[in-house]
Amino acid sequence: MQPAESTVDPAEVAKFEAMAAEWWDPDGKFKPLHMLNPCRLDYITNQIAGEFGRELDAPGPFEGLRLLDIGCGGGLLSEPMARLGATVVGADAAPRNIPVAQVHAEQSGLEIDYRNVTAEALAAAGEKFDVVLNMEVVEHVADPLAYLTACRQLLKPGGLHICSTINRNPKSFAMAIVGAEYVMRWLPKGTHEWNKFITPDELFSLLEQAGLRPVDRKGFVFNPISWRWSVSDRDLSVNYVTASVNPA
Amino acid sequence: MCGMDNPVTIAFMRLMTFDSDILIVGGGLNGPALALPLAQKGFSVTVIDALSETVRKNAAFDGRAYALALASKRLLERIGIWARVAEHSQPMLEIKASDGRAGQGPAPFFLHFDAAEIEEGPMGFMLEDRFLRRAFLEAMAGEPRIAQVEDRVEAQEVDASGVTLTLASGKTLRGRLLVGCDGRQSGTASRAGIKRTGWDYGQTALVCAIEHERPHHGIAHQFFMPHGPLAILPLPGNVSSIVWSETHDVAAEINALSDADYLEVLRPRFGDFLGEIRLKGKRFTYPLNLTIAHAFVADRLALIGDAAHGMHPIAGQGLNAGLRDVGALVDVLDHAVRRGEDFASASVLARYQEWRRFDTQTLAMATDLTNKMFSNDNPLLRLARDFGMGVVNAVPGLRRGFIREAAGLTGELPELMR
């Protein structure tokens, strides 16, 4: 299914298609995502629990919540959300990711609705969600404002939108492109284009223009000594995440 | 259409049905210590051990005892074990370490660690093995999420969703995660193809309990003798546990002696400060060797305690290290579940391995080095270590550091030990 109007840059989709098969190998091509994942999940689960008044200690804390994972890839976020009880739609513009994610969800005994569809197409179809996860996608789209507007349209009133991306400054260029793509070889060369990176202030402004109300922003910081990622209140210099709500 | 009677569907349904979330092989000490907090956090657990519960429970006094670090005691408190054993424990109020020579008593320089110097209280507790085992078995019996199976594991098979164990009885058990707590010759590890590196210290530990005339005042002693260390660890009443290392040959000779002759050899090694001594319970020997598994985790499998790292018991660190594994694994699995992760996935288990491998390698090396340095009669080395002990003793900050280390309060502590 090819949506007529899409803001996904076709060249970007092709790059990720080439990487799709190795999604679930923690030491494979997606090692950096596996390393970052606990930190992303901590932020996401705490934001959802806070916004919807859920207890993470309780069984099935996200039951009754309809959640969309945009750019779901192999399902690294979709599966945890389904395990916590959410009804999950995983959307990816790369068709090859869908069967990979489906096969893995079956092995995990999880029911997840994976679709080869864009956020814009879902919005046009009138789909509505309590939570939209928009992680590490916005830096790959051709028109961020149109894309974020579609994300807002996908939310029920009071719905939560979580969006992470990479800052644009000399340090993020050094870390995310030179470091991750060239030195560490964590990501294939050409994964990111620095001029598409967005600063936190620019993102807040774009979110507001899209009709969302930003409520939180935090940094994801990599510590090269402990070799671990953590959530930071202050350091948003490279990877960062935002939470915003649909006030309508 | 694939109906419920489709063979593929049936096979799939079987793969998705689990007897327990977690299968634990080994019902000694670390296995139950892990089963209890996991069950308390909501996991269903099956503990498999070849020995019957009656055999494991009805042990009489046999002289085996543990020096539990403060951090270990905290973990036992959190999982509801400490209340069952507290009355049988003996706090270690002070530790005196000194250089000794057979027949000559302690050297003029010695290390003195007093629990009064750290605010957390006694740095450790002595507890007999039998009380700890019994408490674990009783606590597990009262926990509805724990099932106990008396059987031996013959085979284990890992697939994308879980682990299937085939038992000697022919029965099979299926779980999401397998944990090997089956000791330094861990079958769980070898069936998974995990290799081990081991080395022999050339020493054997002689272990016994003694009754003595004078009170020990809660003081633990460690004498570094030329052949190996000798520890006197206080038990309730006028009883102490002795752990004493000698070269294999000497140990074999001593072990062959009658009780009376054995005591005659032991007596001059630590002087007469406890008055008359006599043996209580059985005598044991343990050849000292170190064995480390090359990996602490594999697909849907984790190793804890001696199965991961069998250690020289020079400072009672074996069980303490095992309980640290327990605390770390519980933390990692619990956090994974709260995030919605597959708790038995490779990326989750890697966090446990990363956490514990550094700690245990450091401890194994330090224990090995301490032993090598002190088990030596070279006069220069002897002077150096006597001087070193005097320095540590004279500097309060340094001494407090050692006390906290002995109490197990250094490094990254799991939640159950904080």
User: Which pLDDT tens digit goes with each residue over A25-42?
Assistant: 888 878 888 889 999 999
Rounded alpha-carbon distances, angstroms, from residue B182 to B28, B87, B107, B304, B363: 8, 29, 41, 8, 21
Can you give the pLDDT at residue A16? 45
Can you give the pLDDT at residue B59? 66
Q: List Cβ neighbours of B1 (8 Å cut-off, separation of 6 or more).
A: none
Can you tell me the mean pLDDT for B7-34? 84
Can you give the pLDDT at residue B196? 87
Q: List Cβ neighbours of A194 (8 Å cut-off, separation of 6 or more).
A: A168, A172, A173, A176, A177
Q: Beginning with the edge strand found earlier in the chain, give each strand of the sheet holding B124-128 in spatial order.
A: B65-69, B124-128, B90-92
- Per CB distance under 8 Å, which residues of B are interface residues toward A? 16, 42, 160-161, 335-336, 338-342, 345-347, 350-351, 354
Can you give the pLDDT at residue B290? 79
pLDDT for B407 beyond 90: no
Percent of chain B with pLDDT over 90: 45
Can you give the pLDDT at residue B1? 42
pLDDT for A66 beyond 90: yes
Residues of chain A with C-beta less than 8 angstroms from the C-beta of B346: 25-27
Can you give the pLDDT at residue B124? 85
Can you tell me the mean pLDDT for A144-155? 97
Can you give the pLDDT at residue A3? 41
A71 is in an annotated binding site: yes
Instruction: Out of B6-15, B24-33, B76-85, B240-249, pick the least confident.
Output: B6-15
Q: Which residue of A has its CA nearest to B343?
A: A80
A40 is in an annotated binding site: yes
Can you tell me the mean pLDDT for A156-179? 85
Q: Could you tell me which residue, A108 or A89, shows the higher pLDDT?
A: A89
Percent of chain B with pLDDT over 70: 74
A135 is in an annotated binding site: yes
Confidence category of residue A4, pLDDT binned at 50, 70, 90 = very low
Can you tell me the mean pLDDT for B125-144? 93
Please report whether residue A51 resides in a domain.
yes
Min distance A245 CA to chain B CA atoms (Å): 22
CA distance A84 to B331: 18
pLDDT for B275 beyond 80: yes
User: Which pLDDT tens digit goes with each residue over B21-31?
Assistant: 999 999 989 99
Here the ipTM equals 0.84
User: Which pLDDT tens digit goes with each residue over B22-64?
Assistant: 999 999 899 999 999 999 999 999 999 998 777 777 666 667 7
Q: Closest Cα partner for B97 from B397, B366, B378, B386?
A: B386
CA distance B205 to B210: 16
Can you give the pLDDT at residue B4? 54
As a whole number of angstroms, the longest Cα–Cα distance in chain A is 47
Q: Which residue of A has its CA nearest to B42?
A: A59
**Interchain proximity A79–B342, CB inside 8 Å:** yes
Min distance A22 CA to chain B CA atoms (Å): 14
Q: Could you tell me which residue, B372 or B183, shows the higher pLDDT?
A: B183
CA distance B119 to B54: 41
DSSP 8-class letter at B299: T
Query: Other CB atoms closer than 10 Å to residue B170's CB: what's the count?
Result: 8
Can you give the pLDDT at residue B150? 95
Q: Could you tell me which residue, A194 or B182, shows the higher pLDDT?
A: B182
- Contacts across the A-B interface (CB distance below 8 Å): 42
Q: Could you tell me which residue, B54 or A229, shows the higher pLDDT?
A: A229
Strand partners, A208: none
Are A74 and A99 in contact by the 8 Å Cβ rule? The answer is no
Domain range enclosing A163: 10-245
Please report whether residue A147 resides in a domain.
yes
Rounded to the nearest integer, the mean pLDDT of chain B is 83
pLDDT for B7 beyond 70: no
**Interchain proximity B160–A84, CB inside 8 Å:** no
Q: What is the three-class DSSP state of B72?
A: helix
Q: Which residue of B has its CA nearest to A103?
A: B160
Confidence category of residue B14, pLDDT binned at 50, 70, 90 = low
- Cα dihedral A227, A228, A231, A232, rounded to 10, equals -20
Phi and psi angles of residue B17, each rounded to the nearest 5 degrees, phi first: -105, 130
Question: How many domains are there within chain A?
Answer: 1
- Quick one: tokens of B358? 């550094």
User: Which pLDDT tens digit goes with each residue over B387-404?
Assistant: 555 555 555 555 566 566
Are B92 and B124 in contact by the 8 Å Cβ rule? The answer is yes
Q: Could you tell me which residue, A44 or B92, shows the higher pLDDT?
A: A44
Can you tell me the mean pLDDT for A197-210? 95
Instruction: Out of A84-88, A95-99, B223-227, B399-403, pick the least confident.
Output: B399-403
What CATH number is given to the structural domain containing A235?
3.40.50.150
Residues of chain A with C-beta less than 8 angstroms from the C-beta of B351: 38
User: Which pLDDT tens digit goes with each residue over A124-148?
Assistant: 999 999 999 999 999 888 899 999 9
Q: Closest Cα partner for B320 from B25, B114, B74, B78?
A: B74
Can you tell me the mean pLDDT for B288-311? 89
Can you give the pLDDT at residue A208? 97
Residues of chain B with C-beta less than 8 angstroms from the C-beta of A27: 346
Can you give the pLDDT at residue B261? 94
pLDDT for B322 beyond 70: yes
Can you tell me the mean pLDDT for A215-233? 88
Can you give the pLDDT at residue A183? 64
Can you give the pLDDT at residue B107? 54
Can you tell me the mean pLDDT for A177-190? 67
**Interchain proximity A26–B42, CB inside 8 Å:** no
Which H, E and C letters describe chain A, residue by residue?
CCCCCCCECHHHHHHHHCCHHHCCCCCCCCHHHHHHHHHHHHHHHHHHHHHHCCCCCCCCCCCCCEEEEECCCCCCCHHHHHHCCCEEEEECCCCCHHHHHHHHHHHCCCCCEEECCCHHHHHHCCCCEEEEEEECCHHHECCHHHHHHHHHHCEEEEEEEEEEEECCCHHHHHHHHHHHHHHCCCCCCCCCCHHHCCCHHHHHHHHHHCCCEEEEEEEEEEECCCCEEEEECCCCCCEEEEEEECCC
Can you give the pLDDT at residue A218? 96
pLDDT for B6 beyond 80: no
Can you give the pLDDT at residue B364? 59
Residues of chain A with C-beta less than 8 angstroms from the C-beta of B161: 107-109
- Write down all domains in chain B, each with its CATH number in brackets: 7-417 (3.50.50.60)
Can you give the pLDDT at residue B48? 97
Q: What is the three-class DSSP state of B3?
A: coil
pLDDT for B111 beyond 80: no
**Interchain proximity B342–A108, CB inside 8 Å:** yes
Are B309 and B293 in contact by the 8 Å Cβ rule? The answer is yes
Confidence category of residue A171, pLDDT binned at 50, 70, 90 = confident
For B160, the closest of A38, A83, A107 (CB atoms) is A107
Can you give the pLDDT at residue A20? 43
**Interchain proximity B340–A34, CB inside 8 Å:** no
Q: Mark which residues 66-105 of A lie under 8 Å from B by CB.
A: 79-84
